[in-house]
Amino acid sequence: MIKKRQLGHSDLHISEISLGCMNLGTNVKQATNIIDTALDQGINYLDTADLYDFGENERILGQAIKGKRDQVMIATKGGNHFEPGKEGWYWDPSKAYLKEAFKNSLLRLGLDYIDLYQLHGGTIEDPTDEVIETFEELQQEGLIRYYGISSIRPNVIKRFVERSNITSVMMQYSLLDRRPEEEVLNLLNDNHIGVVVRGALGKGMLTSIGQTQWQKKGQKGFLNYDSAELKSIITSLQDLANDHNLSPQSLAIGYALKHRAISSLVLGASTPEQVLDNVRAYQDAQISDNVYNQLKPLTKANIYEQHRD
């Protein structure tokens, strides 16, 4: 049984773990099997973006949920300007492009409305009021239920908190990336804005295959950790998991879900088996305050050093 949490001040109640669709691939049958597995397990929130496979991800997701719209809440993102058939993209948060991008997302998904539409990034130089106006108009037209941003930049997040009625912020957060903890999570919680987490498993380094993933992803370090520090953390996490008869990913999921600002952890999957692995890890992830306090000293309380006023 997957519990649900309210997404910020909205009336959306989304599963504590959700499906990140970026790695579904372009095989429709395989992608549909992944999505069906997620829905069967009680996951009701699916996160995509127009940039994933340049629109193909949205199109496949739309096909996969036909006849199941009442079971799911769909989140997508826009702001990265691309044209089908052309390589590359550039950042374009203008009202004209966001309206065009949204219309194309809606068509690819085959939907009448989108539950959560998010700005896919953002800088302090953006025309923020124009972005907000765009989202408000889409909401008033009934084309989106709520809107949010996907950003890790404190200055951008604070500006949207001050000026808009955002429902959510999607950001990276994990035992390895604790930057949001003191400064951002409390701010969002105080303003009744939900946090949707990506990266909760630290590129797979906070899982049972952590050492393998460290070989692949950790040789150049991660944030303010060097390679040796990462390896030590992975070993310590595995030891603590063994002590409590849990998997490292259960501890990582439990840690990220512990903060009251968090609404859901978006966990990616490229096979149905990975969905089931994530669900199994989640089911053991209701960690005690004691375990939470044992996890904290394993990593640094790192902070944001860029994108500040």
Can you tell me the distance from the alpha carbon of 205 to that of 102, in angstroms, rounded to the nearest whole number? 35
DSSP strand pairing (17-20 vs 168-172): unpaired
Q: What is the mean pLDDT of the chain?
A: 95
Q: Given this model, what pLDDT does residue 84 score?
A: 74
Q: Given this model, what pLDDT does residue 54 score?
A: 77
* 121-167: pLDDT as tens digits: 999 999 999 999 999 999 999 999 999 999 999 999 999 999 999 99
Average pLDDT value for residue range 10-33: 95
Residue 65 predicted with pLDDT over 90: yes
* pLDDT higher at 21 or 1: 21
Q: Quickly state the pLDDT bin for 55 (edges 50, 70, 90).
A: confident
Q: Given this model, what pLDDT does residue 309 score?
A: 73
Going through 244-304 in order, the beta strands assigned E by DSSP cover 262-268
Residue type, 119: L
Can you tell me the distance from the alpha carbon of 254 to that of 252, in angstroms, rounded to the nearest whole number? 5
Stretch (H or E) spanning 170: strand 168-172
**Burial status of residue 24 (CB atoms within 10 A of its CB: 0-12, 13-18, 19 or more):** buried
Q: Given this model, what pLDDT does residue 204 score?
A: 96
* 274-296: pLDDT as tens digits: 999 999 999 999 999 999 999 99
- Find the catalytic residue in 45, 52, 146, 147: 52
What separation in angstroms does the CA of 233 have from each of 174, 202, 217, 240?
A: 13, 12, 14, 10
Can you tell me the distance from the alpha carbon of 265 to that of 72, in angstroms, rounded to the nearest whole number? 16
Can you tell me the distance from the alpha carbon of 12 to that of 89, in angstroms, rounded to the nearest whole number? 32
Q: Given this model, what pLDDT does residue 88 score?
A: 81
Residue 308 predicted with pLDDT over 90: no
Tell which residue, 292, 295, 275, has the closest CA to residue 283: 275
Q: Given this model, what pLDDT does residue 262 score?
A: 98
Residue 38 predicted with pLDDT over 80: yes
Q: Quickly state the pLDDT bin for 85 (edges 50, 70, 90).
A: confident
DSSP strand pairing (17-20 vs 45-47): parallel
Biggest CA-to-CA distance, the chain: 55
Q: Given this model, what pLDDT does residue 81 score?
A: 82
Q: Given this model, what pLDDT does residue 64 score?
A: 94
Q: Is 52 a catalytic residue?
A: yes
Can you tell me the distance from the alpha carbon of 234 to that of 237, in angstroms, rounded to the nearest whole number? 5
**Burial status of residue 130 (CB atoms within 10 A of its CB: 0-12, 13-18, 19 or more):** middle
> Domains along the chain?
4-202+257-285 (3.20.20.100)
Residue 192 predicted with pLDDT over 90: yes
